[in-house]
């Protein structure tokens, strides 16, 4: 490779612009070869670098104005909340000229949203992403932010109230975001139940019998001594996890609790799953209405109307 060896080595660790390449002695011919890839017009990467989300965002920022921050779904991904699609990459800028770059959306604003470095705050990312995510993914993202300590339910509510007339989907999602959910699947499972009209379970509630701690259940319906447990892949691939689950579930059974175990396959048949949960609840004393599978529920969980 031509050019100054030290200058070139510095570039190969991340994205760099066409001008930076020329300054390091890398010519147009080399840039168009197999040694480099061009994620966006005017910015390049060594072909040895994995083109992750964070690398793509860093590449885009290389060719955007200085007063620019990452936002919306793209910002959620940058915070580690991988819900929805982060593409096209979305940014906010106070730059006065319109920016037209394929694969990048830039909103021009008079003031940048609350941010740290080049990343909008978790609350702003969630609020601005919510209309694009839809109800279920909005709640998943909110629960995930809270679980990771990046936001609180009160904080999301307060931030939303500062914005005039948030969309209906955002207001509804705010009312469904909860502390305690530890995985997106737990959140989706809870919403399948709640949006069908069943009583809301408590997320990851410690279960005690006679003052003795038995274990935590994913979704706990204490009144009916019932737990709805999501079994992810880690329960199958981790021997230690599987052994802990066996001991914990036996302890629940010995204490008189019923555990409904849910897999991805069962979640794919959402209506049958919710009906089964309702049947078990009824056997254990529930006297409320049967689950309702209206158009909204069916559209959210990909089920046709009966």
Residue 58 scores a pLDDT above 80: yes
What would the pLDDT profile of 104-117 be if each residue is shown by its tens digit? 999 999 999 999 99
Q: Give pLDDT, residue 6.
A: 58
Chain centre distance of CA 61: 23
Long-range Cβ contacts of 247-251 (<8 Å, 24+ apart): 248/214, 248/215, 251/214, 251/215
Distance CA 293, CA 287 (A): 18
DSSP 8-state class, residue 101: B
- Mean pLDDT for the stretch of residues 155-170: 84
Q: Give pLDDT, residue 111.
A: 95
Percent of the chain surpassing pLDDT 70: 92
- Mean pLDDT for the stretch of residues 173-185: 95
Residue 302 scores a pLDDT above 70: yes
What the chain holds in terms of domains, given with CATH numbers, is 1-49 (no CATH), 64-179 (no CATH), 184-300 (3.40.960)
Q: Give pLDDT, residue 113.
A: 95
Query: Element (H or E) spanning 215, and its range?
Result: strand 212-221
Query: Element (H or E) spanning 116, and its range?
Result: strand 115-116
CA distances from 306 to 103, 134, 196, 232, 303 (A): 41, 23, 14, 29, 9
What would the pLDDT profile of 237-264 be if each residue is shown by its tens digit? 566 677 777 888 888 888 999 999 999 9
Confidence grade of residue 5 (pLDDT, cut at 50, 70, 90): low
Confidence grade of residue 305 (pLDDT, cut at 50, 70, 90): low
């Amino acid at each position: 490779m031509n050019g100054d060896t030290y200058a070139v080595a510095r570039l190969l660790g991340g994205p760099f612009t066409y001008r930076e390449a020329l300054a390091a002695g890398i010519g147009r011919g080399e840039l168009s070869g197999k040694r480099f890839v061009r994620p966006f017009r005017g910015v390049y990467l060594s072909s040895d670098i994995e083109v992750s989300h964070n690398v793509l965002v860093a590449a885009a920022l290389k060719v955007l104005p200085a007063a620019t921050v990452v936002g919306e779904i793209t910002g959620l991904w940058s915070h580690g909340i991988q819900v929805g699609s982060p593409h096209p990459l979305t940014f906010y800028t106070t730059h006065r000229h319109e920016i037209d770059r394929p694969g990048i959306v830039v909103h021009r604003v008079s003031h940048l949203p609350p941010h740290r470095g080049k990343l909008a705050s978790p609350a702003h990312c969630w609020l601005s992403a919510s209309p694009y995510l839809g109800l279920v993914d909005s709640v998943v993202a909110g629960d995930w932010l809270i679980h990771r300590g990046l936001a609180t339910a009160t904080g999301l509510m307060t931030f939303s109230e500062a914005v005039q007339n948030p969309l209906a989907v955002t207001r509804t999602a705010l009312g469904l975001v909860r502390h305690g959910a530890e995985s997106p699947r737990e959140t989706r499972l809870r919403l399948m139940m709640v949006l069908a009209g069943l009583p809301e379970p408590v997320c990851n509630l410690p279960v005690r019998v006679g003052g003795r701690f038995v274990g935590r259940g994913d979704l706990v319906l204490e009144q009916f001594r019932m737990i709805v447990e999501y079994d992810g892949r880690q329960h199958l691939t981790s021997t230690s996890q599987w052994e802990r689950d066996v001991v914990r579930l036996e302890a629940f059974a010995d204490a008189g609790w019923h555990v409904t175990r849910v897999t991805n396959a069962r979640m794919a048949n959402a209506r049958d799953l919710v009906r089964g949960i309702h049947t078990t609840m009824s056997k254990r004393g529930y006297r409320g209405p049967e689950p309702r599978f209206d158009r909204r529920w069916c559209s959210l969980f990909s089920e046709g109307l009966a």
